[in-house]
Structure 1
Amino acid sequence: MTLTQQEMRELPLFRRLRHAVGKAVADFAMIREGDRIAVGVSGGKDSYTLLLLLEELRRRAPIDFQLVAVIIDSGYPGYRGDIVRDYVTSLGIPCHLETTTHYEIITEKRRPGSSYCSICARLKRGALYGLADSLGCNKLALGHHGDDFIETLLLNQFFVGSLKAMSANMLADNGRTTVIRPLVYASEEEIVDFMGQVGLPVVSCNCPVSDSTDLKRRRMKELLKELEQEIPHIRSSMLKALSNVHPRHLLDQQLQGL
C-alpha cells in the first residue's frame, strides 16, 4: 500500500533523506528565489525519491520556487508513463508527459557494437533540456545519488583515463539550463530502503537491453561492496574526496600552467 505524504513525513528515513537534500541544496546553492525547476521523473526509485523530497523542501522553504515533473516516454514497448503521471498528479504537482520516438531512432541509427545506453542517454538529455526550456524552467533536477557520483568517478579513472565524476550544480552545454543533483548526499541503499517503506508505483523503463548493459558500472558496484568489507567508510571518504581536490598534486599540465 502506498503511504500518504503525511505518513511519509513521519518516517525516520524520510527525515534523514530530507536533511541530506537540504544540506546539498545549501552547500551547492542549488535553489534560489523564483526558480522554476523541471524534475526528471522516470518512475524509478531515484526520481520518485527526488520529487518527493523536493516537494517537501518547497513546502517548508522560506523562499518561493516551483516544481514541474517531466516524464520522457522513449517509446520502449510496455512503458507505463501514464502510471507515473497519475501518481505525480495525485500529489498536486504539475506534470508533463512527453512521448518521443527515441526507441525507433536508436534502432535505426545505432552502429553495431556501440553503446545502447549512451545514445539513449543523449536523446533523453536533449529532450529534458528542450522540455525545461518550453516549460519556462531555468533548472533541471536529476535523481543521481551519491553512489552514482562515486561509480562515475571510478568508471572515468579505470576506462577513460580522466579524473571526472558529476557536478551537483552545473550550467548545461545549452547555456540556459542549470542541472542540479540534490541527492548527492543520499546513498542508493537508503533510497532502496525508502522505496520499500512507502510502496510507490515504481515503473520499469522497459529498455530491451536493461539486463545486459552497463556491465562496467555493475562491476564498479561490486568493487565498492568488496572494498567496503575492509574499509567500511569508503563511500563517504570517496564522496568527500570529490570536494577536497588538490590540483597541485595532479598531473594535468594545464593545472600546472605548463
Structure 2
Amino acid sequence: MAFVRDNLKENRLFRKFRHEVGRAVADFSLIEEGDRVAVAVSGGKDSYTLLLLLDELRRRAPVDFEIVALTVDSGYRGFRTDIIESFVTSLGIRCHIEKTNHFEIISEKRREGSSYCSFCARLKRGVLYGLADRFGCNKLALGHHSDDFIETLLLNQFFVGSLKAMSARMLADNGETTVIRPLVYVSEADIRTFAREAALPVVCCCCPVCGTADVQRKRMKTLLTELEKDIPHIKSSLLRALSNVHPRHLLDSSLRNG
C-alpha cells in the first residue's frame, strides 16, 4: 500500500486538500508546536484522507508535532481491523486498535426508536478521549468534512430548534483533550473521488444498520442536492454563515446587548 503515498504528489485533489487543510490550521490554530495528535481512523474514506493529510503536514509544516492513529473496534463481526492496521503501519505511523464490547452494550441498552449511530458514536468518542490521554495526546483529530458541518447545522435547525453545527476546534467534555476537525473546508464529493483515485483500502464498519441509519441526515443530503441545482454555491454559503454570525439579529435573550 506504500504506492498510495508515492502517488500523492501527482494527485490534483490531494494538492487541493493540502491547501484547504493548511487554511483550516491557520484559521483555527489547529496544530501547534509540540502537539501530539491522536487521529481517529475508522477505516472509512474520510479518516484515511485525514490521516494522509496530517502526515503530509507533519513532514512539511514549520512546527514540530507527532501523530498516532487510533481505531476503536466496536465488536461488529467482520470489521477488518487488519486492513486498517496494515495501511497505517505502511505509512510509518504508529497504530493502536482498541477492542471493545460496544455491540453488546448497544444491543442491550439502546432504547427502541433511538438512533443506533448516535449511541455508537458517543461510546466511541468516550474511548477515544481515554486513548488520547493514555497515549499522551493533547489533541484528537476527527474526519468530519464540510458537508458534515452543513448537514449538522440544518439538522439542529430543523429537528432540534438550535442554531449550532460543529466546531473546527473545541475543548472536549473531559476538559483535557482538544478536538480538531482539519477537513472543515474539504467537501465529501472531493474525498469520495480522491479515495477512489488513490485506491484507499476502505473497510465497512459492519454494524447492523450500515447503509440504513441516519435517515434524517440523508434527508439533509438529498435536500442540499436538490437546492444545489438552482443555487450552485449553497454549500459554500452555508459554511461561510457559520463564521459570519450576527448575534444582535438573533432571538437568544442571553445575547442581548441592549
**CA–CA distance in 2 between the matches of 1:6 and 1:14?**
12
Q: Partner letter of residue 183 of structure 1?
A: L
**Residue 189 (str. 1) matches residue 189 (str. 2):** yes
Contact 2:47 2:143 in 1 (8 A): yes
**CA–CA distance in 1 between the matches of 2:218 and 2:27?**
29
Contact 2:132 2:177 in 1 (8 A): yes
Contact 1:2 1:199 in 2 (8 A): no
Identity of aligned residues (%): 70
Q: CA RMSD in A?
A: 1.1
Contact 1:2 1:200 in 2 (8 A): no
Q: Partner letter of residue 211 of structure 2?
A: D
**CA–CA distance in 1 between the matches of 2:8 and 2:139?**
26
Q: Partner letter of residue 208 of structure 2?
A: P
Deviation for aligned residue 1:75: 0.3
The aligned counterpart of 1:54 is: 54
Structure 1 segment 162-201 matched on structure 2, within 5 A: 162-201=162-201
Secondary structure class of the residue paired with 1:254: helix
The aligned counterpart of 2:33 is: 33
Moved more, 152-161 or 76-85: 76-85
**CA–CA distance in 1 between the matches of 2:211 and 2:93?**
32
The aligned counterpart of 1:205 is: 205
Cα deviation code 1:97-151 (max 9, x no counterpart):
1000000110111122222111111100000000000000000000000000000
Structure 1 segment 1-258 matched on structure 2, within 5 A: 3-256=3-256
Find runs of 4+ consecutive structure 1 residues off by over 6 angstroms: none
**CA–CA distance in 2 between the matches of 1:35 and 1:171?**
15
Secondary structure class of the residue paired with 1:132: helix
Q: Partner letter of residue 79 of structure 1?
A: F
Deviation for aligned residue 1:257: 5.2
**CA–CA distance in 1 between the matches of 2:32 and 2:174?**
20
Deviation for aligned residue 1:3: 3.6
**CA–CA distance in 2 between the matches of 1:61 and 1:71?**
25
Cα deviation code 1:155-214 (max 9, x no counterpart):
000000000000000000100000000000000000001011000110000011122210
Q: Partner letter of residue 91 of structure 1?
A: L
Secondary structure class of the residue paired with 2:71: strand
Secondary structure class of the residue paired with 1:213: coil
Contact 2:149 2:165 in 1 (8 A): yes
Contact 1:78 1:206 in 2 (8 A): yes
Contact 1:74 1:102 in 2 (8 A): yes
**CA–CA distance in 2 between the matches of 1:207 and 1:245?**
38
Q: Partner letter of residue 106 of structure 1?
A: I
Contact 1:168 1:181 in 2 (8 A): yes
Secondary structure class of the residue paired with 1:96: strand
Contact 2:83 2:201 in 1 (8 A): yes
TM-score normalised to structure 1 length: 0.98
TM-score normalised to structure 2 length: 0.98
Q: Mind listing any 5+ residue stretches in structure 2 that lack a counterpart? A: none
Secondary structure class of the residue paired with 1:157: helix
Secondary structure class of the residue paired with 1:39: strand
Contact 1:72 1:128 in 2 (8 A): yes
Q: Partner letter of residue 19 of structure 1?
A: H
**CA–CA distance in 1 between the matches of 2:129 and 2:93?**
19
